[in-house]
Amino acid sequence: MNSVKSIIFIALILFFLFFSFSPTIFELSQANKLADSNREFILEHNYYWPDFNLYLSKVRQGWEGRFTALEKYTSEKHQGSLIQDFYVILGSLGRIFNLDPNFSYQLGRLILSPLLLLIILMLVKYYFPFKVRAQQIQTRFVLARQTWFDRGFFWQIIAFLAIIVSGSFPRFYTDSQGMLQVGRFMEWWSNIDALQRITFIPHILFGQVVSFYLLYQLTIRHSGNAPQNDRSVISTKSLILLIFLGNAAGLVFPPSLITLDGVLVLLLVVKIILNIKHQILSTKFQINSKYQIPNVLNFENYNFKFIWNLGFWIWDFLFIIVTLPSLLYLFFITKQLPWSALVEFHRTHLMMIPLDQYILGTGPIIFLGLFGAIISIIKRDKKWQPLILWVLVTFSFASLFSVIKEQSPLRFTQTGLFIPLGILGTYFFYQLFQIRQIRLIGLIGITFYLLGSIYMMKTSLDWQTTFIRQRVGANVPLVPYPPQTMYPIRAWMDGIRWLRDNTNHETVVLAEITAGNFIPAYAGNTVYFGQSNTVDYERKQKEVDRFFKGEMTPVEAKNLLVNGRSKYVFESVQEKEKSGGRSLATIYPFLKSAFSNSLVTIYLAN
């Protein structure tokens, strides 16, 4: 029987992995079908343009042999750091397997997506164990009476499906032909899309995998009262592993560690308050006379042994302390150039939470999870506390950063909120099924809910494949903006490959926004300007515009290149649009052609 259950879960995991990877698989199938034969296929992911090539540039650095990450999207001199070093490691790993940087990035998705589903399965099996309910005597007679609705395996399946498929309420609209269509709310925020989120951006997957594994190890599996749940003894190896993973999560995706630490702090506060309350209520005061008032302020009257009970709180407290270095490192390094540009960009371009749209985009599970949380609180079932607090801490930090403009509030919704909501929502269904009279109605409701959610995943698949078909068939403009909206022209990429093969990658290239976004990712060079991580982005954007429009004198232009350490100038379609088709060499005589083809000229600044 156990082997059958394992096969069922393996089949579910493989099915949903294939389903979630379907857009990528479909895009690969279109590689030889581009409508414009002058374009070349490159596999990309997450088409929000400022990000993908940024990650890919870090992957390339690891692929080229670096151990720490440089910011290739700004020309200021700096040392490598551990910020986004996760992608440098991915590049190093890809090099071992002889994968190019693009597929090294995909390797992160291939490794972490199954791990995320295994973590989800681990949590589901803990919260819905396969056993007869405690109040029943385990006899053959009882087992014969037991229905599927009483068995943990049934609820494991329901919980697993609820976590994976739960998504947006349907959004009804009419298209340009007047046909009724079904879409999703907040389609632009991929992280709440049930189809995309389980194979999403690698560093976000890493944060979710590690943080929920740590939540399980530190709190969830110890939430019972059995002797095996005592944490007074933790092996040195286990402690080192937990510390390493915690700091890794902090460096790779800080919101995951911040949320986890927030949950641990609240659990500590709750436990300490309850323990003090218990100690006070259980203390027997020694009254020497009928009218003597006990000295309630004398702490010698109380038994505060819990303070020294390692299994009670010290490991949680220790974990919080020893994982602070990763967060402190990020705090101090982002005070320095060029890393401060990332924080500054988020301050000035906050992604706020449109609450009504977010609730609609998260879907019915947000209400089902809330009902499950309320029931667990009423029943005083402590094992659900970590999940409830995860939801509470997530929204608390999102609310906090809506007021304190230091980070985009939406970032804290990327910490895997769908996992606790899915488990708590299933718990709500489980409690409803204890009322035998409504089981049939409940089963029909769950079936419709899951099938409806899978249909919404199908609408997401259609939406993504439609976009891919549009990319495959597109032939104008020659060089797009945003960069990832079209496949690049082959001659344009030849110019970037010339930089890759013929220049020192420490040298800086001046280009317009699309080339500037591609060059660090595909050539490995640094650019003066090209992404939101560029230091002083707005000023440099104006300077680059003036340069390519020919509005600078030769002296001003040369000073721009010298001050920006730019040795090469990349001229192609976007750049010529700014100059009105004039050759830059005629505007700035100190530029000498180093490479030229039908679409690109690369100048060397003398």
How many CB atoms neighbour CB 37 within 10 A? Answer: 8
Note the CATH number of domain 484-605: 3.40.50.12610
Dmax (CA) of the chain: 106
Q: Is 293 exposed, middle or buried (0-12, 13-18, 19+ CB in 10 A)?
A: exposed
For residue 449, CA distances in Å to 162, 182, 438, 444 come to 9, 16, 16, 9
Q: pLDDT at position 1, please?
A: 58
Position 596 confidence tier, pLDDT thresholds 50, 70, 90: very high
Range of lowest pLDDT (27-36, 109-118, 294-303): 294-303
For CA atoms 397, 402, 405, 410, the dihedral sign is positive
- The pLDDT tens digits for 347-358 are 777 777 788 899
Answer whether residue 481 shows pLDDT above 80: yes
**pLDDT digit string, tens, across residues 39-61:** 999 998 876 666 899 999 999 99
Question: Long-range contacts for 99-103 (Cβ within 8 Å, ≥24 apart)?
Answer: 100/63, 101/56, 101/59, 101/60, 101/63, 101/521, 102/42, 102/43, 102/44, 102/56, 103/43
3-class secondary structure, 443? helix
Average pLDDT over residues 168-178: 90
- Choose between 441 and 522: higher pLDDT: 522
Q: What is the pLDDT of residue 366?
A: 97
Q: Among residues of the chain, what percentage have pLDDT more than 90?
A: 67
Please give the pLDDT value at position 406: 72
State the Rg of the chain over Cα.
Answer: 29
Confidence of residue 301 (pLDDT cuts 50, 70, 90): very low
Mean pLDDT of the chain: 87
In the predicted model, is pLDDT for residue 103 greater than 50? yes
Whole-angstrom distance, CA of residue 559 vs CA of residue 603: 16
> pLDDT tens digit string along 393-414?
999 998 888 877 777 788 888 9
pLDDT of 139 above 50: no
pLDDT at 472 over 50: yes
Asked whether the CA dihedral 579, 582, 583, 589 is positive or negative, the reply is negative
Torsion of CA 106, 107, 112, 114, to 10 degrees: 90
What is the pLDDT, as a whole number, of residue 410?
A: 84
- Bridge-partner residues for 596, per DSSP? 601
pLDDT, position 308? 41
Per-residue pLDDT of 551-561, as tens digits, reads: 999 999 999 99
pLDDT of amino acid 141: 43
How far is the C-alpha of 554 from the C-alpha of 556, rounded, in Å? Answer: 6
Q: Where are the beta strands (DSSP E) in 75-215?
A: 170-174, 180-184
> Cβ(394)–Cβ(417) under 8 Å?
yes
**Which pLDDT value is given to residue 49?**
60
- Does residue 227 have a pLDDT over 60? no
Residue in the block written with tokens 């509005």: 551
